[in-house]
Amino acid sequence: MPFEKVESSPDFPAMERRILKFWAEQDIFEKRKQLNAGKPKWSFLDGPITANNPMGVHHAWGRTYKDAYNRYFAMTGHDLRYQQGFDCQGLWVEVEVEKELKLRSKRDIEELVPGNVEASIDKFVHACKDRVNKFARVQTDQSIRLGMWMNWDTTDADWAKSPDERKSYFTMSETNNYTIWAFLKKCFAKKLIYRGYDVMPWCGRCGVGISEQEMKEGYKLVEHRACFVKLPLLDKPGENLLVWTTTPWTLTSNVGAAINPKLTYLKVKLKGEVYYLAKGVFKQDRMASSGGDEEGESTAKKGKREWLDGVPNLSSIEQMFKSKAGKGESYEIVGEVKGEEMLGWRYAGPFDELPAQQSEYGFPEEVAKIVQQNGWCPAVTGAAAHRVVSGGDDVSESEGTGIVHTAPGCGGIDFAWGKANGLPPVAPIGDDGCFHKGFGALEGKNAADPTTADAVFEELKKKDRLFGVERYVHRYPHCWRCKTELLYRLVDEWFISMGAAFDPANPQSPPGGYSFRAEIAKVTNEVTFLPESLNGRAREKDWLKNMGDWMISKKRYWGLSLPIWVDEKDPTDFEVIGSREELKERAIEGWTEFDGHTPHRPWVDKIVLKNPRTGNKMHRVPDVGNPWLDAGIVAFSTLPADWRPADFITESFPGQFRNWFYALLALSTMMSDGQPPFKTLLGFATALDQYGQTMSKTGGNSIEFVAAADDGGTVADAKGTPLPFKAIGADVMRWLYCRQNPASNLLFGPKPADEVRAKFHLKLWNCYSFFVNYAIADGFDPAAAQVPVKDRPDIDRWILSDLQELIRTARAAFERFDVMAFALAAEEFVDAKLSNWYVRRNRDRFWSKNAELDAAGLRDKLAAYQTMHTVLTTLCRLIAPCVPFFAEVLWQNLKAPGRPSRGFESVHLTDYPTVDESLVDAQLSDDTDALLTIVTLGGAARNAAKQKVRQPLAELRVYADADAARRAVNRFAEQITDELNVKAVTLVEAKPLRSTAKINMKTAGSKIGAKKKDVEEALKAADPDALAVKLRGGPVDLAGVLLDSADIAIEYVAADGWAGVVDRGTQVAIDARLTPELRAEGLSRDVIRFVQDARKNAGLDLSDKIVLSLSASSPELAAAIRTHREAIAAAVQATEWVEGPLPSAAHTAAVKVDGLELTIALQKV
């Protein structure tokens, strides 16, 4: 027997596990590779997954794309490398290891081995390596379960090898690290690497600076306490500057007040004191949006400010003055002054008494030395430096008071103002985010702790400096990994200079110079970014144009050891080492201890070099590298030269334009002298829960991959209530991803999965089950001589023709990396064409009894089987890249004996289908498409007439502009009448529906304005049908007003007793009037349905014959039964009809047929 019986309720996860076993036992993947060895290369470059936790369902989206395109290009005869990667180094791993070891700070890391920092770092780094290896193995197993074909490390022997020797690549490998060294050496040769001192966003929890790229990921809408503080002017007794800040802790380090010289400032008198503030802010509605970067500190978007529930609205500054004035009193505006006149005014700082404010050149001592060395300011203390300086247009009236409290040790723009105006930076916090000595009662307190703000406010109150405190909501940056609020801290970090700005239209380095960003932009021009709607190239170039210099250092432990060695006596004299060989050659101490270790801390820190210029020793800086260097180098550390550039990469685009995509382009630009690392980039959006919310473990709405694939679990609903969900298997997930528009966020959860499974998997499964189970019953042999396609009926030739168009769509979609276009076309083919039309319309051909058929009938039945077998086996091959398990399950049962072995053993060893042009019948396809449209419209007209499908109607009239629709009415009249249960279908020359056009004033009113009468006259003169055609092409001009389809409603009305609908140039109208004969026939069909239900309830098989008795209380129903007795008997397989009751053993049912009582009695013969 060629086929095995198909179960009606498939268990997809169990099937997939069986297929995994089959692939492994039969070595199918290796056989596929052998088939393609030596053929044209197709190069895929994997963006490494972080080996730090089990996979979530969001990881499966990108991995599905990667595998689907790999499988397609394998089936089209290409040689592939099949290497995927693991991202290993960086803060994301360190944070998890800290949790495992119950460590709370960097200080705890360095005390893992008490009293021995080196041994502590060694232990910590080993723990990081162990975690990476553990979860790389977990993710390998999960990726295999997803169906992802790669050269995986699967055995204990594989995992015992070093990362450099494994099949997957690991960014912690020596190869990867040393290749980055080579990149940095090239940057050093171009004089791009430098040590910079700047105020950086800093995570006190992790003790690390956050780069510009990383900071973009961590903004959250939060509430802080902001305060208004008065700064008394030294030369104007009783007068004060009024400043505002959302970071009260930074007031300890204030050394300046920045204004905009172009603005006008008010002098507002209150209770005998004068306050200076910008004129534009005084009465400003502070709950209105102020504009700005949505990812920056400004909360603004157009309209109302973003806000949190439960936080009171902000008062205007004028309201604050009124409130402070008290009852019966008021403020007084006593004058105005130009900002430029305020420059140089001196004032008393809020914390001048602190020791930190008494240090010349700034604070602490190491900062003061740097400032003095670089000549950023004169020998002045913070307390003595307080004065008004220009902040230029960076000071505005959009927020605050128009006077910005300036602390060069606590803010990026503040630091720039400080250097420009000779203000000493007072840097109050250490790498743990806590205050240094020199800050009085705040010493040791964490700057982000709310109690720190309490202490600051208390001190200000004592000094009568606190004007007001408010609850303030804004977007504020958090550590992208540990979610701690960031602080701004003056630190030294290592940077790559990105060079001068460039013209986006024609990026070039300046004459005689080198702009790294411009050179990267040139490479960006050579890459295809998809989907086009994302404007990926423009996004990337915009990032390149506006980004600052690239911070490449992290003051951490587990990561790339920056190959920078500094002269022990001159910190400005440094060198970059470019390879292990160079390091060995240059080392004067420590090589023996280092040799045999990977280039990580603490072992590489032992190496000491000799400065060839001074003879001094050079020591490595303790910093590790930005982890995006790790992933950015993989085009060179993993791809051999003859596999570069990669043909394709894909990753989730949020953030990646400034992270992995940028890093790949940047490192390739330097390493290959301007050659791109890849040809095509496919970005995709974010997986959210089924309610559109961000997935999170704390919210209970995240789903791990293993739960979705096999285990099931619970997931929170929209209200946060955990609800159970069943495992869906890998292929339902894969299809969900393949059919998704990659530019849009995907909603993932039980409901979307159920919808996709029902729409595609179960529809195709039911078609497959129908075919196989009847093929078994009839003994269909796929190897039998084929009935020539030209001799098969229209419906067979149509489905084969449309199958060729699906093949054409599939190939084009995969070639342009648009798998969604194929997936949606495949869904439509399976649902609308195969299931809802071909199978449904051909049931009688499969149901017919061979013994009752003549030679022509048997030949026709064979043609139906052969047609459907061809369709199903071709579909298996078409969908195999997207749903490899599902395709394999079907293929293993459908494959025909005697076929070549490549097409027999596995669907994944077949070639991808190609279009057979001899099977394409364009006119037949067009005519059948028109038929389906007419049937759909006819069904809609019947619904509009409120007539059920079982009720026969007299006539359907069709008016059509298109030739295909006109041909369809004549060619397929019998199918139309049968489908729509009408006695006749008529092609008419006159439109059966009357059309009118009306203005929708809700949408069009504002556009029309005073021209209402003119527009109405123009509308009255227009032909509504012609207007409808024009509106499909865009807005139309009526009396000088442009109106679109939302503004003009075209309505259609049928003649009395008729109902109709319209679709573009096709109108259908159905006669809804019932004659007594039609009414009787409709009742008889309802009777048939109720008898069939009774048969089912009696437990009868489809083939069982019955004795039937029907008793109707209504003369109308009784007459209908008498008239259609033969049709009823034939439909329900009643071989004997009894007037009166049947024996007591008979099955009975009492029903109402359109409100008329009927008693059914039946018994198996």
Give pLDDT < 50 ranges for the chain.
291-302, 897-902
Q: What is the DSSP string of 98-154?
A: HHHTT--SHHHHTTSSTT-HHHHHHHHHHHHHHHHHHHHHHHHHHHHHHT-------
Q: Is residue 692 part of a domain?
A: no
Same domain, 1021 and 1116: no
Three-class secondary structure of residue 426 per DSSP: strand
Same domain, 860 and 1009: no
Q: Is residue 120 part of a domain?
A: no
Those residues with Cβ within 8 angstroms of residue 1115's Cβ, 6 or more apart along the chain or in another chain: none
What pLDDT is stored for residue 294 in this prediction? 37
Same domain, 451 and 385: yes
What pLDDT is stored for residue 290 in this prediction? 57
Same domain, 1119 and 1038: no
Three-class secondary structure of residue 84 per DSSP: coil
User: Residue 720: is it exposed, middle or buried by C-beta count within 10 angstroms (0-12/13-18/19+)?
Assistant: exposed
- Residue 367's CATH number: 3.90.740.10
In terms of phi and psi (left: phi > 0; alpha: psi -120 to 50; beta: otherwise), the region of 499 is left
Chain segment 856-889, per-residue pLDDT in tens: 999 999 999 999 999 999 999 999 999 999 999 9
C-alpha span between 707 and 693 (Å, rounded): 19
What torsion do the CA atoms of 1071, 1072, 1073, 1076 make, to the nearest 10 degrees? Answer: 110
What pLDDT is stored for residue 530 in this prediction? 97
What pLDDT is stored for residue 1140 in this prediction? 86
Q: Is residue 629 part of a domain?
A: no
What pLDDT is stored for residue 1141 in this prediction? 87
* 499 within 8 A of 515, measured Cβ to Cβ: yes
What pLDDT is stored for residue 569 in this prediction? 93
Q: Is residue 337 part of a domain?
A: yes
Question: Hunting for tokens 């800290």 — which residue is that?
Answer: 98
Same domain, 916 and 1050: no
State the residue range of the domain holding 1129. 1076-1164
* 149 within 8 A of 67, measured Cβ to Cβ: yes
Same domain, 425 and 314: yes
Which pTM value belongs to this model?
0.87
Last residue of a domain, one of 893, 920, 947: 920
Chain segment 296-339, per-residue pLDDT in tens: 333 334 468 899 999 999 999 999 999 999 888 999 999 999 99
What pLDDT is stored for residue 423 in this prediction? 97
Q: Is residue 103 part of a domain?
A: no
The strand pair at 239-245 and 219-232 is best described as antiparallel
Same domain, 877 and 1024: no
User: What are 384's two structure tokens?
Assistant: 């003595």
Three-class secondary structure of residue 553 per DSSP: strand
Same domain, 1003 and 1115: no
What pLDDT is stored for residue 896 in this prediction? 57
C-alpha span between 479 and 209 (Å, rounded): 9
Amino acid at 1135: T
Last residue of a domain, one of 920, 944, 977: 920
Q: How far is CA 701 from CA 709, 726, 913, in A?
A: 16, 15, 40
Determine the length of the chain.
1165
Last residue of a domain, one of 424, 451, 476: 476
- Residue 882's CATH number: 1.10.730.10
Q: Is residue 285 part of a domain?
A: yes
Q: Is residue 837 part of a domain?
A: yes
Same domain, 1033 and 906: no
Please state the domain count of the chain: 4
Same domain, 268 and 316: yes
Those residues with Cβ within 8 angstroms of residue 772's Cβ, 6 or more apart along the chain or in another chain: 3, 4, 5, 6, 893, 894
Nearest-10 crossing angle of helices 1076-1097, 1115-1123: 80
User: What are 911's two structure tokens?
Assistant: 């070639």
In terms of phi and psi (left: phi > 0; alpha: psi -120 to 50; beta: otherwise), the region of 694 is beta
Q: Is residue 311 part of a domain?
A: yes
* 1054 within 8 A of 1122, measured Cβ to Cβ: no
- Helix locations, 447-566, DSSP H: 450-462, 516-524, 536-546
- Report which of 226, 221, 243 is spatially closest to residue 297, judged by C-alpha positions: 221
What pLDDT is stored for residue 303 in this prediction? 65
Same domain, 302 and 392: yes
How many CA atoms, within 13 angstroms, populate the side-chain half-sphere of residue 1061?
Answer: 14
C-alpha span between 390 and 388 (Å, rounded): 7
Same domain, 357 and 316: yes
C-alpha span between 347 and 231 (Å, rounded): 6
